[in-house]
Structure 1
């Protein structure tokens, strides 16, 4: 949305006249001094604005300048308020200097200024560098319905640790003696981190990215609190492309853009433009939508005309229409999305509005029916001129118009650009309830030029749980609908990417899988008009961490962790049949069974050791899928009789093995042979021993 430039201009004139009166009273001493030098006393007053170059003077012919530095500062203990300090450097020829503070300001200190009437403070004429500090509330709210309305009501806000605010006005009047002219230069700064534009300022930690293109320098301010839905590079690409495409004049040298943090603030609108070329857009706004707020607010910065009541509709209508058309031309949306956006103007109650009569419409009509009418006038202008002219030519003539653009002057500008038939169309759709229809893609290609190939990439959504699959040592199958996707180290994620060409010609696609911004794999090919193809990418995650997987602007978060530890929930031990003894020692069989669960949303893996009476006897590795459960068994076949305690992972069970009676041994028996062979053998051995003994003697 944009603010009412007419009311701002009126307020400026009133304030300027007041300050001229403010500076008209000339002290007697000053007048006498002027008479002595044969000069008449000159007095002047000025309402300053932040110059593009802070050192620039408000008067180009001056060699003497009053320098005003306005410093903005956060007040963390009072969210909703900021502190403002005005510091002046006064040349010696200045004899009078006055300033006014905003009506809601509370002056906290002065140095060289004394209070006068109400909000006015006068210089004491002695202090060479007078200063004044005040505090003021800065929160601004509104209640706006419409396509770019937000969910809250803030338009400017101070959160304590950061603030997005208007630059406060600093009305200054002064008088001087002597020849020449004394002007005023103004610089607005921040105490601490911050960035200042022409009409708005951001106070707090941030980073600034700049881009110069087409004679414009874009300053993109990204607060630390902001979480951008688009990269700064893509935002600046879109803005600079729009800067080149819009040939309507009124290009400002500098464009100040703030990505407004939306996580903790409920903004009343999705974006806002104010001043010459200052704008903020919520950090979560996307570029790939027909309601491209970044471009909508940028178009407002190019509107240099003053609209009369019966042309007010064109301000939001042109911003909405060109935001959609430029986004289409940048291949960020397809033709159907563009057409659907314009088709909102054919719906009730918007179609019943008479655009030239604001009393017949609410705040929404210019964004809906107005955008459709702007598009229809663009199409008619292109048709009538065989593509040599467009609505941009009308827009450009409006910007260079010397006075307010009224309904009659708008019709004349249309006539000069596109002829009487198009003027008739303009009258028909702006002064009556008649509403044009949208046009089809073939007509668009013929009138606006063939829509180029528009390649888009889409990751599977929650409605397609099979679009993400996992495989590895623990499981195989779909990851389900939980986000972020949770997997374990060592697992491989497979994902399907739908690549489509919604343009009017064939085109090349280059699908690159990015993991935390780094390219991991790539597939490329060619698609015909309206053709769609599904590509499959895989990526293995060897280390734990938080990952962002992206294909172009589409992203999905993946949380990778080391496998969880399995949990033993129950344990039991049972005796089985006794093993027959063969060596005289009894043997018993005990089976220990454990139930193991994984209560986590990612796999579990680990080793479980069975302890018997405190001693480890067997170890098993267990792997479980998320929310999985299984039973494992240990077989113990050498249990001594008595009570035995078995333990696995803190769970214990006891089993008692009864001793078995000692088996009875059979009596030994001796048998003798009938032929006396055993006796002969014994006698032979005795005789052999006697002979050996006799020889040693």
Structure 2
């Protein structure tokens, strides 16, 4: 009996040692370069990467190391137009159609490739600039690099590097589009089944107080019920020379924001860019306006709902001078801000109409969610269908007039510019009423209008009143 137990014990011990050895070997294969970000593919050859700034310039250098190549018949990298290959060991390069094709050359099990970004960061706030640099930090572009491989007799597999997940260290944070290089710090908040992380260069002062900013973003994540939840959001907070405002990359839930941007403002860039990260749709040309229009409207609305601005400030921000541009035709826009102005006003009206039609049970958020869930590019027709499905009735005529047409949209809020004429009181009542209130107001108005000819008819047929009307035409 003792010998059997001892045999089982020894066998279990050997299996444990073997298991730990396999785990250790697997971990070593995926270990990142010391102190540097790393991207390792789940399948295919193992790839590690480091990123460094090229001297004091505005460009970045990525060093890639590939291992385990002997296990595959074919291995190659495709480097996009936003980078160039400056060195390759164990691989041959070919330039074609603006891209660089890097193929395995020889029988070596390892290879290395060095690439450099072609889009340089600037040290001054230029209009439309997206990448910036100072002496101590640089926000640059993550290049498009695709790994392709195939075993003997198997089909070609492919994977984009740097898209497997975000990596960070004390000196670099690599996301999907942006990379911040230089000493940095980060803070985060958990909300809506995901996290929001703010990364900034060391010494950068945030405009809003950190203890106020993080809860505000977390609250926005909970309030904005439009789907596309659960993903982690990365916001790069930058000081000078970053231009005013910010820039987002909704597909991968990341953005950069100028730290001078206020939070208690109807035009809060923090909230505006966060809304962008919740846009999981692809827009057709006739719906291009919706991206900025929805971010502009919800930034103001979230600031109001959080009590950071009052209703009058929100309404004044969304109201504005009318424009005759057709939202579905970008060529008709006389100003690039049309989506921010007319677009935001149209969405505020759609939101109001949906709430009135459903007694507050639904809103524009439900339309937004349907667009996020839509398969394929969202067209204007898809938008009209989504509005109809949410509101419970079609609004094509109204949408065609103000979205697809050139009819201007001016004030629509109670308390806005005064409305003139006979219908002014009715419009004010309708704007502030629910479905029942609208029906009552219309009934009251129509009964008043209809009573005029009715009373005139009764006057003419009432015998008791004829004597008093002698000499008047009947």
Q: Tell me the TM-score normalised to structure 1 length.
A: 0.50
Q: 2:218, 2:169 → 1: CA distance? A: 31
SS of the counterpart of 2:343?
helix
Change (3 A) 1:160 1:68: farther
Task: Tell me what 1:439 maps to.
Answer: 413
Task: Tell me what 2:116 maps to.
Answer: 135
Structure 2 residue aligned with 1:69, among 44, 48, 53?
Answer: 48
Number of aligned pairs? Answer: 373
Change (3 A) 1:225 1:75: farther
SS of the counterpart of 1:154?
coil
Q: 1:432, 1:185 → 2: CA distance? A: 42
93-102 or 314-323, which deviates more: 93-102
Change (3 A) 1:104 1:207: closer
Task: Kindly indicate whether the alpha-carbon contact (under 8 Å) linking 1:320 and 1:371 is maintained by their aligned counterparts in 2.
Answer: yes
- Cα deviation, 1:139-192, whole Å, max 9, x if unaligned, reads 368xxxxxxxx8744211233431111211112222212679977584575787
Change (3 A) 1:216 1:111: same
Deviation at 1:128, TM superposition (A): 2.0
Gaps of at least 5 residues in structure 1 are 1-52, 58-63, 142-149, 448-697
Task: Tell me what 2:331 maps to.
Answer: 359
- Cα deviation, 1:308-351, whole Å, max 9, x if unaligned, reads 2222111111110000001100111111110111112xx15xx2
Kindly indicate whether residue 367 of structure 2 is the aligned counterpart of residue 394 of structure 1.
yes
Q: Which has the higher helix share?
A: 2
SS of the counterpart of 1:155?
coil
**RMSD of aligned Cα (Å):** 2.7
Task: Tell me what 2:199 maps to.
Answer: 221
Structure 2 residue aligned with 1:97, among 67, 75, 82?
Answer: 75
Task: Tell me what 1:318 maps to.
Answer: 294
Q: 1:204, 1:82 → 2: CA distance? A: 12
Q: Tell me the TM-score normalised to structure 2 length.
A: 0.72
Task: Kindly indicate whether the alpha-carbon contact (under 8 Å) linking 1:342 and 1:438 is maintained by their aligned counterparts in 2.
Answer: no
Structure 1 residue aligned with 2:383, among 403, 410, 427?
Answer: 410
Q: Point out the structure with max Rg over C-alpha.
A: 1
Q: 2:160, 2:355 → 1: CA distance? A: 46
Q: 1:329, 1:193 → 2: CA distance? A: 38
Deviation at 1:358, TM superposition (A): 1.3
Change (3 A) 1:227 1:382: same
- Cα deviation, 1:183-213, whole Å, max 9, x if unaligned, reads 7584575787011222211111111112111
Change (3 A) 1:185 1:199: closer
Kindly indicate whether residue 238 of structure 2 is the aligned counterpart of residue 260 of structure 1.
yes
Deviation at 1:356, TM superposition (A): 1.7
Task: Kindly indicate whether the alpha-carbon contact (under 8 Å) linking 1:73 and 1:191 is maintained by their aligned counterparts in 2.
Answer: no
Task: Kindly indicate whether the alpha-carbon contact (under 8 Å) linking 2:49 and 2:62 is maintained by their aligned counterparts in 1.
Answer: yes
Q: Which has the higher strand share?
A: 1
Structure 2 residue aligned with 1:427, among 400, 410, 420?
Answer: 400
SS of the counterpart of 2:131?
strand
- Cα deviation, 1:88-108, whole Å, max 9, x if unaligned, reads 123543112112334464544
- Cα deviation, 1:37-75, whole Å, max 9, x if unaligned, reads xxxxxxxxxxxxxxxx96673xxxxxx532222321112
Task: Kindly indicate whether the alpha-carbon contact (under 8 Å) linking 1:72 and 1:190 is maintained by their aligned counterparts in 2.
Answer: no
Task: Kindly indicate whether the alpha-carbon contact (under 8 Å) linking 1:67 and 1:184 is maintained by their aligned counterparts in 2.
Answer: no
Kindly indicate whether residue 218 of structure 2 is the aligned counterpart of residue 240 of structure 1.
yes
Task: Tell me what 2:145 maps to.
Answer: 170
Task: Kindly indicate whether the alpha-carbon contact (under 8 Å) linking 2:45 and 2:66 is maintained by their aligned counterparts in 1.
Answer: yes
Change (3 A) 1:172 1:240: same
Task: Tell me what 1:455 maps to.
Answer: none
Task: Tell me what 2:23 maps to.
Answer: none
Q: 1:222, 1:445 → 2: CA distance? A: 44
Task: Tell me what 2:419 maps to.
Answer: none
Task: Tell me what 1:578 maps to.
Answer: none
Task: Tell me what 1:373 maps to.
Answer: 346
Structure 2 residue aligned with 1:202, among 173, 177, 180?
Answer: 180
Deviation at 1:384, TM superposition (A): 0.8
Give the alignment of 1:464-503 within 5 angstroms.
none
Task: Tell me what 1:124 maps to.
Answer: 105
Give the alignment of 1:265-276 within 5 angstroms.
265-267=241-243, 270-274=245-249, 275-276=251-252
Q: 2:204, 2:397 → 1: CA distance? A: 48
